[in-house]
Amino acid sequence: MVEAPQRFEISVSDSVLDDLKERLEKARYPDELEGVDWEYGTPVKYLKEYVAFWQHHNWKEVENKLNQLPQFKLTVNGLEHHHIHKRSFRANAIPLILIHGWPGSFYEFAKIANQLAEPEGDQQAFHVVVPSLPGYGFSEKPKKRGYGVAEMAKGLNELMVKLGYKKYFAHGGDWGTIIAHTLASCYPSECVAIHITCILFPPPPLWSFPLAHLKFLMSTIFGAERTYGHEEAKRLERFQTLMNTEMGYFHAQTTKPQTLAYGLNDSPIGLLAWILEKYHTWTDRATFDLSSDEAKEAIVTTAMLYWVTETIPSSMRIYKEFRDQNMTTATISDGAMTLSSKVPTGIAFFPCDFPPCPKEWAECYTNIQRWKKYDKGGHFPGLECPDVLTNELREYFGLPVIKKAFSA
């Protein structure tokens, strides 16, 4: 007998909210250097504005809004998975799973779930599934080492099958990109087309793609601009700058996440500062003004989801699991981005997200059917520019070649 999903509603106890209120009131802020802005991390002045917003944040109102979306829990691959499951009333609706990353949550896609399920006119409709990854939000936390990208992909594929979808599409950003690509690589009979942002495929290895690898070696000698062109070279340059200046969180979370977890799990302002710094670096602040109430609402709600579930420790462990796997000789068992896939893939990149790798690299690993550049948006398009992401998903998954993959 197949287990049925159990209906779920968010309900945080008053004791948790009262404890948070007390911690925010008694917060102890560090000193800082004069005139350094964000160069050393989240500035105290900026954080205090967010903390003030958090202190007056109406969590019960957020709960009520989120509980208007149909939420469930279902055990797959050994862990209970929280998920939104918004079925469309349209007869031609296609199943679509939306996969978040870090420091994100299912909340990233809450704004677009209804739009995708019930579009206007004759636009393509979807049965929308938005999971909380294991160790995030209201999903169960892995208890043993090794539950990384491959295990998460296995669980999400099982989730879609248990929900009755023999074939489906997938979209992801951040870790969701890697998980969606792994679904396409490992479960191509079920996950028949994907769409991704945050495109971080590595340079093609010699033994699999000798010509592409030779071109990569030439770029290290003669320069990326002469090898790949001006636009690709600028992206690689910006990516290298980010790697040199913005990856402190990555090194901490890939090496000793447990030590970091004590401070972030115990201090709400520490947690907020850690998350806020990523939103400052990775969002398009021209269109997603971090001083606006809209941005504060989105970021504080995200922090709340980590705080009330105590999942910041478990959410960071995916970095350690990924690092501990051999990313240069990836196999189906480890789920790294060096897996290859023949499943149709759509790629969209936003100016304030991580710059994409050269298209020639991505073509070595995946079957690109769309390569789309936008002039606004960043790492969290579901929050920053939900209408843009919604239209992008409709356009891509509405392409004849993609719909053919589903009907084949």
Residue 328's SS3 state is: coil
Please tell me the least confidently modeled range out of 41-45, 118-122, 135-139, 251-255.
Answer: 118-122
Query: pLDDT tens digit string along 234-288?
Result: 988 998 898 889 999 999 999 999 999 999 999 999 999 999 999 999 999 999 9
> What are the residue ranges of CATH 3.40.50.1820 in the chain?
6-202+246-407
| CA pair distance 292, 295, nearest whole angstrom | 5
The question of whether 319 is a catalytic residue gets the answer: yes
Catalytic residue among 249, 319, 374, 396: 319
**pLDDT of 336 over the 60 cut:** no
**pLDDT of 338 over the 80 cut:** no
In the numeric block, which tokens belong to residue 196?
A: 């991704």
**pLDDT of 2 over the 90 cut:** no
CA angle 253, 318, 140 (to 5 degrees): 120
Please tell me the least confidently modeled range out of 169-178, 207-216, 306-315, 352-361.
Answer: 207-216
For residue 329, the model assigns a pLDDT of: 35
Q: How many CB atoms lie within 10 A of CB 152?
A: 30
For residue 140, the model assigns a pLDDT of: 98
The question of whether 174 is a catalytic residue gets the answer: yes
| CA pair distance 230, 236, nearest whole angstrom | 10
The superfamily in CATH containing domain 6-202+246-407 is: Alpha/Beta hydrolase fold, catalytic domain (3.40.50.1820)
Catalytic residue among 107, 374, 379, 396: 379
Indicate the average pLDDT of the chain.
93
Q: What is the mean pLDDT of residues 352-367?
A: 92
**pLDDT of 331 over the 70 cut:** no
The question of whether 289 is a catalytic residue gets the answer: no
In the numeric block, which tokens belong to residue 109?
A: 């896609």
Give the predicted TM-score (pTM) of the model.
Answer: 0.95
Residue percentage of the chain with pLDDT more than 90: 79
Catalytic residue among 50, 168, 174, 284: 174
